[in-house]
């Protein structure tokens, strides 16, 4: 059939391979499954499913009110339309360690290649806002152990996100991240680094694959692909970028229709029906259908 041609395990193996090949891999956030297909067509390495986007999509702020089921559903809907590995945000894991383990298992069953779990308290906030709080190291270590234990497929990638930089300083954040790796994290996500020197130091002191979050209007300067490659990072996410782009155009388009009264002046800024159908592989679906229904009832030879 037409949906995807790779199993979840093949995608996880591909993700694992990326983490070990020394290059930087770009994972734009997909604000919906259709966008994941666009990310694949554009030749990116993988797809990110952002908690901030899942919440915003439901018209909610990113403060832990969207629930586990809403997260998993969106993760599954996204992962299943692309051959690229997709990994997702699970915030603080949706509860105590046992719930975090179950969340990881559900994310795995949903076909994702990995997920990140963070050391904030509930209710959490966006990592680039002030006023965050983190749980103590021992609590987060338990969370990670439980999350690691929740996995069935050893190729599923567990990413520990550390929000402590803004709360306790870089030295403490680095100590925490060491403990998170000992607890079973495969990869680290140092959140809201202030500058390149901080990214560089984290990379130097920790020997596991590293993720950089290039979210706009946050605390980190938007580093280029080359800069992140030189810093030795393995994965970069652009978590909310496609949503911001789409909403920016939607708002401008709505203004135009309100002012002018029709859409004639903005057609060239839209995805054409033809291009949408191409992205959906409309024609291939029609062909599939024809191949299935290419017989006639009277065709069977009779004596
Ligand atoms: C990466 C992140 O966790 C997300 O949910 O996408 C957010 C992104 C954002 O709010 O800009 C975060 O950095 O906390
Ligand atoms: Mg998030």
Mean pLDDT per 10-residue interval, the chain, length 303 residues: 88 98 98 98 98 98 96 98 98 97 98 98 89 96 98 98 96 98 98 94 98 94 97 98 98 98 98 97 88 68 53
Do you know the residue count of the chain?
303
By three-state DSSP, how is residue 87 classified? strand
Q: Are residues 190 and 252 in the same domain?
A: no
Nearest CA to ligand 1 atom 6: 50
Question: How many domains would you assign to the chain?
Answer: 2
Q: Are residues 51 and 91 in the same domain?
A: yes
Q: If you measure from the C-alpha of residue 227 to the centroid of ligand 2, how many angstroms do you get, rounded to a whole number?
A: 24
Q: Which of 35, 52, 247 to mutate to test the pocket of ligand 1 (most atoms within 8 A of CB)?
A: 52
Nearest CA to ligand 1 atom 11: 215
Q: Are residues 280 and 234 in the same domain?
A: no
How far apart CA 15 and CA 155 sit, in angstroms, is: 9
Q: Are residues 252 and 220 in the same domain?
A: no
Instruction: Pinpoint the alpha helices (H) of the chain.
Output: 8-20, 33-41, 51-57, 68-79, 97-109, 137-149, 165-168, 170-182, 196-205, 225-230, 241-260, 273-280, 282-292
Q: Are residues 161 and 22 in the same domain?
A: yes
Q: Are residues 15 and 77 in the same domain?
A: yes
Tell me, yes or no, whether 221 lies in a domain: yes
Quick one: pLDDT at residue 205?
Answer: 97
DSSP at 121: P
Domain boundary among 201, 220, 239: 239
First-last CA distance in the chain: 36
Tell me, yes or no, whether 297 lies in a domain: no
Quick one: pLDDT at residue 123?
Answer: 86
How far apart CA 30 and CA 83 sit, in angstroms, is: 14
For 280, half-sphere exposure in the C-beta direction (CA atoms, 13 angstrom radius) is 11
Q: Residue 145 sits in a domain of what CATH number?
A: 3.20.20.60
Q: Are residues 230 and 206 in the same domain?
A: yes
Quick one: pLDDT at residue 180?
Answer: 98
The environment of the single-atom ion ligand 2, i.e. residues with CB closer than 5 A, is 51-52, 89
**Which has the closest alpha carbon to 125: 231, 255, 5, 218?**
218
**Which has the closest alpha carbon to 241: 28, 84, 26?**
28
Q: Are residues 277 and 130 in the same domain?
A: no
Q: Are residues 38 and 91 in the same domain?
A: yes
Tell me, yes or no, whether 214 lies in a domain: yes
Tell me, yes or no, whether 301 lies in a domain: no
User: Which atom of ligand 1 is nearest the CA belonging to 127?
Assistant: 14
> Which residues does the annotation mark as catalytic?
48, 62, 89, 91, 116, 118, 126, 161, 191, 213
**In the structure, which protein residues have their CB atom closer than 6 angstroms to any atom of ligand 1?**
50-52, 62, 89, 126-128, 213, 215, 218, 239-240
Nearest bound ligand to the CA of residue 52? 1
Tell me, yes or no, whether 2 lies in a domain: no
Residue ranges making up the domain that contains 33: 8-239
User: Which atom of ligand 1 is nearest the CA belonging to 91?
Assistant: 3
Question: pTM of the predicted model, to two decimals?
Answer: 0.95
Q: Are residues 131 and 264 in the same domain?
A: no
Interface confidence, given as ipTM, is 0.99
Report in angstroms the alpha-carbon separations of 59 from 52, 54, 135.
Answer: 10, 9, 27
């Amino acid at each position: 059939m037409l949906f995807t041609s790779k199993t979840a395990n093949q995608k996880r193996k591909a993700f694992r391979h990326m983490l070990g090949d020394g290059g930087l891999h770009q994972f734009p956030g997909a604000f919906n499954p259709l966008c994941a297909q666009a990310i694949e067509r554009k030749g990116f390495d993988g797809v990110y499913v952002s908690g901030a986007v899942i919440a915003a999509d439901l018209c909610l702020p990113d403060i832990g009110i969207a629930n586990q089921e809403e997260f998993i559903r969106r993760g599954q809907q996204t992962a299943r339309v692309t051959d690229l590995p997709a990994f997702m945000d699970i915030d603080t894991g949706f509860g105590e360690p046992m719930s975090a383990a179950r969340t990881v298992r559900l994310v795995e069953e949903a076909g994702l290649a990995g997920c990140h779990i963070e050391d904030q308290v509930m209710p959490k906030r966006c990592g680039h806002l002030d006023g965050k709080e983190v749980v103590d190291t021992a609590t987060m270590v338990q969370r990670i152990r439980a999350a690691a234990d929740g996995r069935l497929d050893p190729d599923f990638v567990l990413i520990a996100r550390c929000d402590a930089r803004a709360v306790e300083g870089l030295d403490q954040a680095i100590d925490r991240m060491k403990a998170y790796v000992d607890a079973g994290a495969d990869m680290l996500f140092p959140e809201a680094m202030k500058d390149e020197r901080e990214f560089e130091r984290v990379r130097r002191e920790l020997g596991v694959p590293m993720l950089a979050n290039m979210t706009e209007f946050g605390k980190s300067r938007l580093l280029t692909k080359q800069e992140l490659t030189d810093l030795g990072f393995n994965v970069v996410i652009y978590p909310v970028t496609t949503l911001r782009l789409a909403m920016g155009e939607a708002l401008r388009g709505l203004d135009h229709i309100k002012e002018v009264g029709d859409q004639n002046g903005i057609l060239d800024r839209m995805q054409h029906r033809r291009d949408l159908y191409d992205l959906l592989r409309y024609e291939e679906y029609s062909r599939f259908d024809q191949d299935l229904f290419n017989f006639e009832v009277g065709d069977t030879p009779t004596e």
